[in-house]
Structure 1
Amino acid sequence: MAEPASTRRVIESHEIYSSHLWEDRTIKVCLPPGYPSNGTYPVLFCHDGNEFITHGRIATIAVERMVSASLSPMVIVCMAMNPRLRSADYDISGERHEAYTRFVMEECIPFVEEQYAISPAREEWFMAGVSLGAAASLSIHLQHPDVFGQLLLFSGAYYPPLQERVREATNLSGLSAYMLVGRQETAVETKEHGTLDFYHYNRQMRSLLEARGAVVDYREADGTHVWGFWQRHLPQALDWLHERLLSHRA
């Protein structure tokens, strides 16, 4: 039986050449049911875009919630990563992190603004990431707090250089973040740094952010550093996003 049109996922794929990264990047845009209609839509930008779709099932989960009215209709922009250069792009100590940030801000966002009916209100803009993608999201907020002030952060790879960058920030009252970490993420194997304790990295980052005025919805749950864990908790993260939108529109 065919899937009803109202619940069918619509994902449009684009190849963008980045003059900052010197390569093509894929952007997959998940559209809400009934798109387009009059008006504009909130937007969620996701690092590790392909994985958010295939492993996180974000398009399926989000559309189901939009149809049931438990999530506001929104555009979800999934930015694919280069597997060979993920750390170089996402880690603030990576040699391409500045270039990757410029790709997001100067190439990806203008393309999406031109092609899709997204809200001009930055209060309706969100960014999400897992692991190093969460670290990249936080780094982009620190550099562009007027653009991305609402983050969904899953099991962030908050290495000491990023923690130090946050310590240097005197006022993060413009940041609202949903944070999730698994209680069993105490010995995560990384290619660059060996075995690390992400659980305590996330607890430390929560304290650093709150001490500087950020509003943090911090969650811990049983789970390890895998997409299955993040997928299970994605509905709760989308609930948080929905509540943020309702608060803005009230």
Structure 2
Amino acid sequence: MQFQFDFISAKGRFVSKHLDRIVSFRFMAPANYWETDLKFPVLLMNDGQDFTAMKLEKTFSEAYTLNSIRPFVYIGLECNQNRMHEYGTASSADFKGRGGRALEYSRFVIEEFIPFLKKDFKVSSEGMDWVYCGMSLGGLSAFDIGFRHSDIFGKIGVFSGSFWWRKKAYAKKDVADRSRILLDVIKNAKKAPHLKFWLQTGTQDEKADRNNNGVIDSIDDTLDVIKELRAKGYSYPGDITYVEIKGGKHDLPTWGKVFPQFVLWAFGKA
């Protein structure tokens, strides 16, 4: 009897000293992973527990059959009940104290988990081959870590990012609204010319419109991140890709549906 594998998929567990907990993760790779000498590009994702709900096994297995997409491995980091504390911005917690362990999470990813992957898995050592993505608060975390560690990553993908994350409560008529933490993260960093960004929102991400300009906050915040990136010297369109889904919601089905488009952007052959 012979078996033919279409892909490889497995679950792993990693003991993190920085987080003082066991981190579960999902690994998925093309069927020839064991036979080839290739060092694969990597898609690292926060909120890896949503792998099944977003139907990513189908997305990746189909992507592996396309000549237009470079073979890659997927690694999804699962969160636990401390998600609201571990995700965020490493520079500071938000004004309610959320994200207080974001620095520890960043150190886990950069100092523990990625070195482990590079040692024990067939993954590329080239930063240009690494893509970091996430959804909602996990997207904010992926952006913050990827942007601050541009020597390790080449691309960043964010789905409905929690770019509203702020150091003080929103004040009405605050037009500049510089209390949003990520804007200063971008402003105060040195530009990494190679970085590319994929940002997605849905027109039904939410109903809130704090500044009453007729644009929901999720889209407003993402457009302001794009504005800040452009001020740093990144081109739009070009370095920055923005995808706005008409009728798209702040949910797993919306993100899962647009994910094949993101994979093509991340690993499509030029």
Question: What TM-score comes out, normalization by structure 2 length?
Answer: 0.81
Q: Report the structure number with the largest CA radius of gyration.
A: 2
Rounded Cα–Cα distance in structure 2 between residues aligned with 1:171 and 1:87: 28
Q: Secondary structure at the match of 1:27?
A: strand
Match of 2:85 in 1: 88
Unmatched runs of 5 consecutive residues or more in structure 1: 189-195
**Cα offset, 1:68, TM superposition:** 2.9
Match of 1:29 in 2: 27
* Contact persistence 1:172–1:209 (CA under 8 A): no
Match of 1:41 in 2: 40
Q: Secondary structure at the match of 2:104?
A: helix
Please tell me the residue identity of whatever aligns with 1:48: D
Unmatched runs of 5 consecutive residues or more in structure 2: 94-98, 166-179, 209-215
Match of 1:225 in 2: 250
Change (3 A) 1:122 1:170: closer
Q: Secondary structure at the match of 1:68?
A: coil
**Cα offset, 1:35, TM superposition:** 1.2
Rounded Cα–Cα distance in structure 2 between residues aligned with 1:70 and 1:230: 22
Cα deviation code 1:186-219 (max 9, x no counterpart): 437xxxxxxx821211111111112212310111
Change (3 A) 1:155 1:113: same
Rounded Cα–Cα distance in structure 1 between residues aligned with 2:14 and 2:190: 36
Question: What TM-score comes out, normalization by structure 1 length?
Answer: 0.87
Q: Secondary structure at the match of 1:12?
A: strand
Match of 1:193 in 2: none
* Contact persistence 1:172–1:213 (CA under 8 A): no
Match of 2:108 in 1: 103
Change (3 A) 1:218 1:103: same
Runs of 4 or more, structure 1, over 3 Å off, are none
Cα deviation code 1:22-51 (max 9, x no counterpart): 111102111112112122111110000111
Which is worse superposed, 123-132 or 30-39? 30-39
Rounded Cα–Cα distance in structure 2 between residues aligned with 1:170 and 1:34: 39
Q: Secondary structure at the match of 2:113?
A: helix
Rounded Cα–Cα distance in structure 2 between residues aligned with 1:24 and 1:206: 35
More helix by share: 1
**Cα offset, 1:153, TM superposition:** 1.2
* Contact persistence 2:41–2:124 (CA under 8 A): yes
Please tell me the residue identity of whatever aligns with 2:38: G
**Cα offset, 1:6, TM superposition:** 4.4
Q: How does 1:91-170 map to 2 (within 5 A)?
A: 91-92=88-89, 93=93, 94-158=99-163, 159=165, 160-170=180-190
Match of 2:176 in 1: none
1:79 aligns with 2:77: yes
Rounded Cα–Cα distance in structure 2 between residues aligned with 1:42 and 1:165: 27
* Contact persistence 2:161–2:222 (CA under 8 A): yes
Q: Secondary structure at the match of 2:103?
A: helix
Number of residue pairs the alignment of both structures matches: 232
Q: Secondary structure at the match of 2:204?
A: coil
